[in-house]
Amino acid sequence: MSGPMCPCGSGQAVASCCGRLHAGEPAADAESLMRSRYSAFVLGLDAYLLATWHPGTRPAALQLEAAPRPQWLGLAIQSHTPLDDSHATVEFIARYKLNGRAFKLHETSRFERADGRWLYVDGDVHA
């Protein structure tokens, strides 16, 4: 195995994991897209995040470099639930530090497949 490890926690190198999706390969399922989007947050890949966001809910821009920038610590997929051929949910917990304090983002995200590509639609954050 060569190259840096993928931030998504797969245990694979970035190039053979989420890096393939970042380079344009379509995600096989919503969980793969979720993992690649987490990695894109870690790696600061604004363009990929916007490209994989559903046009109906996509923001005009992301401020990934805005200070203070979170230090992403890890991703845990809780569940991947295909609803039909074009809709799925992924529940995840992403851990991060901000200004030295530890936080977690626990979300159930909605995904939709359009033109053969999975897209992030939106999500419900768990308190």
9-29 residue pLDDT tens: 999 999 999 999 999 999 999
Establish if 1 belongs to a structural domain. no
Domain of 103, CATH number, reads 3.10.450.50
Residue 13's DSSP bridge partners are 5
Whether the pLDDT of residue 127 is over 90: the answer is: no
Establish if 42 belongs to a structural domain. yes
Tokens found for residue 25: 């390969």
Across the range 99-103, mean pLDDT stands at 93
Tokens found for residue 81: 């639930």
Establish if 89 belongs to a structural domain. yes
pLDDT band at 2 (very low <50, low <70, confident <90, very high): low
Residue 123 three-state SS? strand
Establish if 115 belongs to a structural domain. yes
DSSP E strand stretches across 1-127 = 71-84, 87-98, 101-114, 117-125
Establish if 4 belongs to a structural domain. no
| Residue 112: domain span | 14-125
Measure the CA–CA gap between 23 and 60, rounded to whole angstroms.
22
Local structure of residue 10 (DSSP, 8 states): S
Tokens found for residue 52: 């994989």
Q: Is the pTM of this model over 0.85?
A: yes
Q: What is the pLDDT of residue 19?
A: 97
64-93 residue pLDDT tens: 877 788 899 999 999 999 999 999 999 999
Establish if 67 belongs to a structural domain. yes
Measure the CA–CA gap between 61 and 4, rounded to whole angstroms.
28
Establish if 27 belongs to a structural domain. yes
23-64 residue pLDDT tens: 999 999 999 999 999 999 999 999 999 999 999 999 998 888
H helix runs in 1-109, sequence order:
18-22, 30-43, 46-51
Q: How many domains does the chain have?
A: 1
Establish if 8 belongs to a structural domain. no
